[in-house]
Structure 1
């Protein structure tokens, strides 16, 4: 007897949404638009916090630290909390989805995500309310992580199921475009205020505006995604067992090894993720005289390159296969990591070197990240694909990206920038090893 799930017992919200979606045939292009909007909103929230952690929080929430470096490390420790909370959020919200419906699950998760981000924009600093500011910031960051775990909607899997088999690589990369789009929006907003305000004005109120935007963006994304989640076709696929959530405990009981292996496949990409987005801003701020606002516009250009490389990864994967594409991109990241051991010569105070590092890193990130979505979830089988894809992604972010800015900054400050390359190299080695163990063709999301 199936659990009292979701699937069959729609919430009032889902039933209302279905009234405007009944008999609506979902095509891959429409799913793609919903996926990109949803992912971009999630990444925007996370990048707003990440950029704030590098530019704002050390001075606003951790002025008691013994040095600017220590304050930045405290800030990055707070940044990591969401990645530790994300798998817990997946477990909690999967159960909510099974009991009350996918619409309820998604609505609660996205409102929690937007609320947590927006409230940070209103939060007084340490000088106003003392250590309570730090505790509240940490709690809101955990709220972001729990919400992102719950925001998994299965649209990427639905996109894969509706995609032509010969174009699976192309459709697999589409959800990943949300990352550069979200970063471009967050970096452009912060850059505008950093460049046009004095430091006193920026720290007093300018940094808060991007956080205020988060709630509105999440509401728009919620309706875009609910329109697809509430369609008869989406429900039909779920009832056929292709997109049905299962308890995390059941998934791990049957596929713990596959989930762990799947989490290691994207490590090269996920380690690189924050080493070209969040970490460089902290290094520029602490150790160089370059304007953070001007540097973020360089990163904005790099994100455009990343989006193009993500699209290219889809074309490449359709020609040579996803597994081979991931192996090649991991190898290229490994070479980039080895070259980055020379970072003191090319990154330090050289604006040209910094730009080359960021642009090359974003290009490699796009090639690798474009095909990491659910790369080995085909090993899980249809019943476990939905929950397995969510938990695998959570663990990959935790292992590969959650602590990357903290580890990279602490090691590079102590031993030099060459350590950043070594850290990235370890991620590339893990990815290559996981791909050599898993020899499936990874045809499904």
Structure 2
């Protein structure tokens, strides 16, 4: 089909060239690799970094410092989005993705090579912070626009189902990272693991990033997909234009998925830190529980797509926020119980997370007109992760250590309240048809 005919008939061109199933494959591969990197660092922040880079402090304080470093990526991510938006507009998505994933992979593999605090002192902490900032900066550029393209090319009546596809990568990344660390912990001596075994997941993450890069470039840089982005008006706009045209929408939209993103860390990073610091539970055993919970979360995300297409995404997100509020009040006390209590906490949390988190991507995309959806979705996602998730492990652990687990529940409850209020204000969440 010629360029002239495709521009005159954008919908027909899009239907002819773009298969939602092809987009879905690219989205899942890309998001799985990003979340695998994310969880490798998150798990190491609990079981490796406190003793390796903050050995001068007691275990709780060292873990809090480690979580402060963890938060750096969320501060860097909006800066990365702004920088790589310029790269995208000038040189195209292929150049942007290649540079972003090169920085991401280099930062990740570099973390596995940093000497300990005992070897080079404070320089080790500086390098760790620098590389963590690099990870977040690169993640801002890893946005390829495929989730938005998928949302706009989904079959009629299946928007909710296709909106949940990008979120599946989170559970895949969590499950694989948890099982990999569990395997290493179970099959190595503690001395060997702490000396060199912990490095392997970071090297594996680099290899996965290389595979993901080629898989995504294979889709994004082809003429038919470039044409699809153009025909759907999915082109990057400047940050200045985004805030000028959609400033209010960006602010409200950042709080729409906030409860889901806060719960994300309350059922992944925080419980691992609590169990590791305050119980006699085997770390490898809890990581297996976490992987099983990820499987339940995966199924719940799929279910969110089916439910959303029947009752609407706005209703599902609203009810999900209510479930998160109930979970925030009741569930944290389970972490003080037996292994059974921990399993219930993780399973129930993962299912609620899946039902809510599964639609957060589609909710964000649907807030914007097609011409501003590409950049608007990226900015809202960055802000929501920063406000809802960036400091969640640090705040939850500090509050629970100083005041008790109920205080961590109140932190999560505040996120649920913010999402409920945002949904009431976000009238545009009556999903668009464009």
Structure number having the greater helix percentage: 2
Whether 2:98 is the aligned partner of 1:125: answer no
- Supply the distance in 2 between the matched residues of 1:238 and 1:313 (Cα, whole angstroms): 27
Aligned position for 2:431 = 442
Q: Secondary structure at the match of 1:166?
A: coil
Deviation per CA, 1:50-98: give whole Å up to 9, x if none.
Answer: 0000110000111011x11000000000000000000000000000111
- Supply the distance in 2 between the matched residues of 1:176 and 1:96 (Cα, whole angstroms): 26
TM-score (norm 1): 0.92
Unaligned 5+ segments in structure 1 are 1-7, 9-22
Deviation per CA, 1:351-410: give whole Å up to 9, x if none.
Answer: 111111111000000000000004144332122100000010000000000100000000
2:36 corresponds, among 18, 41, 44, to 44
Q: Secondary structure at the match of 1:165?
A: coil
Aligned position for 1:17 = none
1:147/1:444 CA distance change after superposition, 3 Å: farther
1:309 corresponds, among 293, 296, 300, to 300
- Supply the distance in 2 between the matched residues of 1:44 and 1:376 (Cα, whole angstroms): 23
- Supply the distance in 1 between the matched residues of 2:148 and 2:179 (Cα, whole angstroms): 31
Check the 8 A contact 1:50/1:79 in 2, yes or no.
yes
Check the 8 A contact 1:113/1:147 in 2, yes or no.
yes
Whether 2:350 is the aligned partner of 1:367: answer no
- Supply the distance in 1 between the matched residues of 2:195 and 2:124 (Cα, whole angstroms): 15
- Supply the distance in 2 between the matched residues of 1:96 and 1:81 (Cα, whole angstroms): 23
- Supply the distance in 2 between the matched residues of 1:432 and 1:374 (Cα, whole angstroms): 17
TM-score (norm 2): 0.94
Q: Secondary structure at the match of 1:373?
A: helix
Check the 8 A contact 2:164/2:362 in 1, yes or no.
no
Number of residue pairs aligned between Structure 1 and Structure 2:
420
Unaligned 5+ segments in structure 2 are 4-14
- Supply the distance in 2 between the matched residues of 1:236 and 1:227 (Cα, whole angstroms): 14
Aligned position for 1:72 = 63
Query: Offset of 1:25 from its aligned partner?
Result: 2.8
Query: Offset of 1:444 from its aligned partner?
Result: 6.5
Q: Secondary structure at the match of 1:164?
A: coil
Deviation per CA, 1:179-233: give whole Å up to 9, x if none.
Answer: 0001111111111111222221111011100000111101111111111111223
Tell me which moved more, 151-160 or 349-358: 349-358
- Supply the distance in 2 between the matched residues of 1:33 and 1:238 (Cα, whole angstroms): 17
Aligned position for 2:264 = 273
